[in-house]
Structure 1
Amino acid sequence: MARIFCIPGIIFLLCALVLGVLVSISLPFLPALDFVRVNFDGGDGVVTSGAGLTELRFGIWAPCFYDTNGDRTCFGAGHAYSISISNTAKTADVIVGSSWTRGLAVHPVATAVTFIAFVMSFSTHHLVTLLASLTAFLAAALTLIAFAIDIALYAFVHHEVSKLPNVSGRTTTSAAFWMTFVTLILLLLAGCTVCFGRRKDRMSGAAAYPMSSYSKPGFLARFRKN
């Protein structure tokens, strides 16, 4: 593949792969890489354990919360978790069910496909580079689905927390949310770059074998003297 397109495509895929791996690890292993975060002013929210909350974070494998003492607690690792939030008086509660967190597991799947595209992007074979481009676009499609799930989770948590009476909760998107968006852009750029590189490589190969300029002599040329 033409080097001018090959190197940027590999770099885009490498950056997307690194971001995807970090996002896939997520909570509880990397505390800063959550998707949705709820900040409670004054610790006036509680969870199922009964501890007062100042912050609640949603990751792929577990939710984590910070209590009024500044201590962090995470539930057991595993996707498709559910969590209940209620006000201090326990007069109302909301539940973020497993149906809203199960889809977060699409992130590791997209990362695995990105890794496959990254490996194939090193090949100079025309068929493999075409598959690398298609695989990059497949990873981008999966990342888009994962990003849509992140948006849905944010919207649902924001809506549910706002229904709690006497609770001052502020729902925001967090680092993993925006890292997923950047990964999506990088994968789209990588897919286009690899595709254009393959096309330019084929055009260069065709130009290296020009058609013969031989033309058949006319009828009168047979009677001309040498």
Structure 2
Amino acid sequence: MAVTGFFHHIGTFLLLATTVLLIITTISAPVVNDIGLLKVTLSNATSNHYSQVSFGTFGYCYLNTADNGRDYCSHSHVGYRPANIMTSIEDTTFSKTSRDATHVLTRVMILHPIATGIAFIAFVLALGSGFFGSLLAAFTSLLAFIVTLVALICDFVLFAIIRDNVNDDGAGSHASYSVGIWTILAAAITSLLGAAVVLLTCCSARLHKRRRDSAVVKSDYGAPARKRRWF
């Protein structure tokens, strides 16, 4: 039972780690300027200065601008147009399909905070020691994994379109995945592992309890009745 409890704590920790990783993705630019899912280093880079565009969950930031070295960020809102942003800054060309697809996919990033909330609920449920609480935590963390996985796939499709167009444009800019997309990838892994560990330990603890109760019943059944004395 001690081993089961130890592994349950590991599952609980994985759910906490999932929550933290998803928070990092959620607070990406423009909330925290330097955290992005995709970063584009612009063609005006020199040995002493370079500007970047950091694309995040609810907007973007133009970092270290050439004019005065300051950061300029958009307002936080659901959905924006990364293709139009790169066209206005670097004159990067995109097809109409790519423009429309990337705009739609930015709206899907609302799943980032939703997955964060679900993962946190799963973590809180896993803190309880009861069977049903742990079982509910396992299924909630599985839901968090599904939501995170959908968001992850959409994120990679979205920023792969932007990255490929920027890198193939020949303007000198370079786009690469950044911290935010790796944290959501890690969150998908930890949420799946957390769900599996919590579910297995929950079922294992239930099985041990049944065996223990069965052993007690058999022991009581086999005990001989005490004989009464005639005097």
* CA deviation string 1:166-217 (max 9, x = no partner): 51121100001101111111111111110111111112101212253768xx
Give the 3-state SS of the residue equivalent to 1:212 in structure 2.
Answer: helix
* Paired position in structure 2 for 1:38: 40
Counterpart of 1:78, as a letter, is H
**In structure 2, C-alpha distance between the alignment counterparts of 1:107 and 1:87, rounded to whole Å:** 27
* Structure 2, unaligned runs of 5 or more: 223-231
**In structure 1, C-alpha distance between the alignment counterparts of 2:206 and 2:87, rounded to whole Å:** 62
Cα gap change, 1:79/1:88 in structure 2, threshold over 3 Å: closer, same or farther? closer
Aligned partners of 1:113 and 1:138 also within 8 Å = yes
Q: Choose from 7, 10, 14 the match for 1:8.
A: 10
* Paired position in structure 1 for 2:204: 200
- Using the size of structure 1 for normalisation, the TM-score is 0.81
CA RMSD of aligned residues (A): 2.4
Q: Choose from 114, 133, 142 the match for 1:137.
A: 142
* Paired position in structure 2 for 1:99: 104
Q: For residues 33-112 of structure 1, what are the structure 2 equivalents within 5 Å?
A: 33-42=35-44, 54-66=51-63, 67-69=65-67, 70-83=69-82, 84=84, 85-86=86-87, 93-94=93-94, 95=99, 97-112=102-117
Cα gap change, 1:122/1:93 in structure 2, threshold over 3 Å: closer, same or farther? same
Cα gap change, 1:130/1:162 in structure 2, threshold over 3 Å: closer, same or farther? same
**Structure 1 ranges of 4+ moved more than 6 A:** none
Please report how far the alpha carbon of residue 39 of structure 1 lies from its aligned counterpart in structure 2 after TM superposition. Answer: 1.1
Q: Which deviates more, 135-144 or 206-215?
A: 206-215
Aligned partners of 2:105 and 2:155 also within 8 Å = no
- Using the size of structure 2 for normalisation, the TM-score is 0.79
* Paired position in structure 2 for 1:223: none
- The structure with more strand, counted as a fraction of residues: 1
Counterpart of 2:75, as a letter, is G
Aligned partners of 1:32 and 1:175 also within 8 Å = no
* Paired position in structure 2 for 1:121: 126
* Paired position in structure 1 for 2:227: none
Counterpart of 1:169, as a letter, is S
Please report how far the alpha carbon of residue 162 of structure 1 lies from its aligned counterpart in structure 2 after TM superposition. Answer: 4.0
Counterpart of 1:4, as a letter, is F
